[in-house]
């Protein structure tokens, strides 16, 4: 189940030490970047074989990217992550957050941390607004015009220079505006290393992937493009950054989910640059337009639940803590949980976050987001696959919720936003008015797709959205989630949790 980052996003501990220099005096607003970047992304879908959203490799890359960007600093860009059926090692980021990674990159990576390093690097270009800063240097006035033709710029050809160009992380696109300077590449390397670390991955995955590039293209090959540093130099300064970070005892190197996606990627058909130019892929089942990438998965909003307890019956939501129980990472994929595993009927304990307190079964854990909310779930109920069982607590901006009518309007708007960010949820009930601890609240039932798949079929999912006004006129919300078939047995638990909820 997906939910937008603007609503709730997990945030790891800010251990990263790299402070990038101030951004340029950017002539484009963030909204312009999002709007115009989306137009360029639409061109990518028309001119390149982008794997469909429901492809297993696409789903995996989307979930991995969503987790990483939940730990990125700065503005909450509407990131999307999609896969291009090209054998070349390449990835590129468009203004506003659309990121494309080639199948060749997934195939070349040997561990999840290495692939995560590529995505963290590309995400850093978005965070640091490098593309539009480049356009300012070139005095470009239009993002679409400044990025040029996708087909003629990304597809560099089958020659040696083209192959090497496509091998360089973040630089292979050759797009006017996306071709990064040495300084910008270094900034993205260093910030990407910190994002990788704060997302609980082994940051050595970043320089390890540089070594893969060097092994494939030679120690001097990368210097053929003068606007990109040699991988050897990149390894040196990235290693220096890693040396400043506290060592993690259980840093993630790889997972069973990566192994499955890697095996699937090796089976996928790819197209050469010439075949793409000729449109040889257009008769296949490839995406013809932008779709939901899985960005904002509940799994991103806390897919690494905390295993740490504060003692007694009061367990605090620890932002960015990762558990030692491998099952919590969803390494083996989502599984159906029984009553005991869900904590049904068990005596509840108190979970506290920055801006709330709530009771939950004793085996449920919470991870805080940077806005004071949290995702809470039982052991095994969440992972890189997303959230199967649990709840997301957060706050959303509204235009002054002061009475029953304004609350209803704000709730409908929030539900529409959630639906759009999840590929289209279906409202299955009328809006109802509740009384939660003496406060007016709204309730709505939604239906979507669960990350849980059985016998090759994705199970339907039931979402119970609860909203209530905050003291400053915005919204508090809770979204309870479970597969449709399991929701009735969790309903008493969810109701008890709701009745215990105390915003602070």
Evaluate if residue 125 carries a pLDDT over 80. yes
* Banded model confidence at residue 304, pLDDT cuts 50, 70, 90: very low
Which pLDDT value is given to residue 5? 32
Which pLDDT value is given to residue 329? 31
What are the residue ranges of helices labelled H in 366-466? 404-421
CA distances from 322 to 296, 302, 310 (A): 19, 10, 15
Phi, psi of 261 (to 5 degrees): -65, -40
Quote the CA–CA distance of 260 and 257 in Å, as a whole number: 5
Which pLDDT value is given to residue 66? 92
CB–CB of 85/268 below 8 Å?
A: yes
Q: How does DSSP assign 200-218, residue by residue?
A: TB-TTHHHHHHHHHHHHH-
pLDDT in tens, 162-215: 332 232 233 333 343 455 677 888 899 999 999 999 999 999 999 999 888 777
Evaluate if residue 256 carries a pLDDT over 60. yes
Give the least confident one: 220-224, 254-258, 399-403, 472-476.
Answer: 220-224
Cα 176 from chain centre: 26
How many Cβ atoms from other residues are within 10 Å of residue 344's Cβ?
Answer: 17
- Give domain 314-503's CATH number out of 3.40.50.10950, 3.40.1000.10, 3.30.365.10, 1.10.620.20: 3.40.1000.10
Token pair, residue 18, equals: 């790299």
Per DSSP, which regions of 218-363 are E strands?
314-316, 349-352, 356-360
- 159: which residues sit within 8 A by CB, 6+ positions away? none
Quote the CA–CA distance of 96 and 93 in Å, as a whole number: 9
* Banded model confidence at residue 272, pLDDT cuts 50, 70, 90: confident
What mean pLDDT do residues 413-433 have?
A: 80
What angle (nearest 5°) sits at the alpha carbon of residue 438, between those of residues 435 and 444? Answer: 25
Which pLDDT value is given to residue 175? 43
Token pair, residue 267, equals: 């089976």
What mean pLDDT do residues 262-280 have?
A: 86
Whose CA is closest to 178, among 86, 65, 98? 98
Which pLDDT value is given to residue 140? 54
What one-character DSSP code corresponds to residue 10?
A: B
Give the neighbor-by-neighbor strand order of the sheet with 502-503.
314-316, 349-352, 356-360, 502-503
Quote the CA–CA distance of 245 and 273 in Å, as a whole number: 40
Which pLDDT value is given to residue 263? 94
pLDDT in tens, 328-351: 333 345 788 999 999 999 999 998
Domain with CATH 3.40.1000.10 in the chain: 314-503
Quote the CA–CA distance of 50 and 48 in Å, as a whole number: 6
Residues present in the chain in total: 504
Evaluate if residue 492 carries a pLDDT over 80. yes
Whose CA is closest to 102, among 162, 26, 50? 50
Whose CA is closest to 476, among 465, 490, 461, 464? 465
Quote the CA–CA distance of 114 and 108 in Å, as a whole number: 9
pLDDT in tens, 68-107: 998 898 888 999 999 999 888 888 888 889 999 999 999 9
């Amino acid at each position: 189940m997906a939910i937008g980052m603007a609503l709730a996003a997990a945030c790891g501990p800010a251990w990263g030490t790299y402070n990038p220099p101030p951004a340029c005096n950017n002539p484009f607003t963030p909204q312009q970047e999002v709007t115009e970047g989306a137009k360029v992304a639409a061109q990518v879908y028309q001119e390149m074989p982008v794997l469909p959203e429901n492809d297993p490799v696409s789903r995996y890359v989307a979930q991995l990217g969503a987790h990483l960007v939940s730990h990125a600093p700065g503005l909450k860009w509407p990131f999307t992550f999609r896969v291009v059926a090209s054998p070349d090692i390449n990835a590129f980021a468009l203004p506003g957050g659309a990121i494309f990674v080639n199948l060749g990159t997934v195939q070349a990576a040997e561990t999840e941390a290495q692939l995560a390093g590529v995505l963290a690097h590309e995400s850093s270009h978005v965070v640091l607004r490098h593309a539009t800063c480049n356009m300012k240097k070139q005095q470009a006035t239009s993002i679409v015009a400044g990025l040029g033709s996708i087909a003629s710029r990304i597809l560099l050809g089958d020659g040696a220079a083209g192959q090497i160009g496509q091998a360089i992380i973040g630089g292979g696109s050759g797009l006017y505006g996306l071709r990064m300077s040495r300084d910008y590449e270094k900034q993205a390397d260093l910030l990407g290393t910190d994002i990788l670390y704060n997302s609980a991955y082994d940051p050595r995955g970043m320089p390890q992937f540089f070594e893969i590039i060097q092994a494939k293209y030679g120690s001097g090959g990368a210097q053929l493009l003068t606007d990109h540093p040699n991988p050897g130099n990149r390894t040196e300064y990235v290693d220096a950054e890693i040396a400043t970070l506290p060592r993690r005892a259980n840093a993630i190197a790889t997972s069973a989910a990566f192994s499955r996606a890697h095996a699937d990627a090796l089976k996928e058909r790819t197209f050469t640059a010439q075949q793409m130019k000729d449109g040889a892929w257009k008769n296949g089942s490839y995406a013809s337009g932008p779709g939901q990438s899985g960005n904002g998965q509940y799994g991103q909003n806390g897919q690494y639940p905390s295993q740490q307890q504060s003692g007694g019956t009061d367990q605090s939501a620890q932002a960015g803590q990762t558990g030692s129980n491998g099952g919590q990472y969803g390494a083996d994929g989502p599984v159906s949980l029984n009553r005991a595993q869900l904590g049904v009927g068990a005596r509840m304990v108190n979970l506290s976050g920055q801006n709330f307190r709530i009771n939950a079964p004793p085996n449920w854990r919470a991870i805080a987001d940077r806005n004071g909310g949290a995702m809470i779930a039982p052991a095994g109920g969440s992972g890189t696959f997303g959230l199967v069982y649990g709840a997301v607590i957060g706050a959303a901006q509204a235009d002054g919720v002061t009475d029953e009518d304004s609350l209803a309007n704000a709730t409908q708007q929030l539900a529409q936003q959630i639906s759009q960010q999840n590929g289209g949820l279906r409202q299955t009930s009328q809006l109802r008015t509740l009384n939660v601890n003496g406060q007016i609240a709204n309730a709505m039932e939604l239906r979507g797709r669960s990350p849980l798949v059985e016998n090759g079929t994705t199970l339907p999912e039931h979402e119970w959205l609860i909203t209530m006004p905050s003291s400053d006129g915005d919204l508090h919300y809770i979204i309870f989630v479970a597969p449709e078939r399991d929701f009735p047995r969790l309903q008493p638990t969810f109701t008890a949790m709701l009745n215990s909820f105390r915003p602070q």
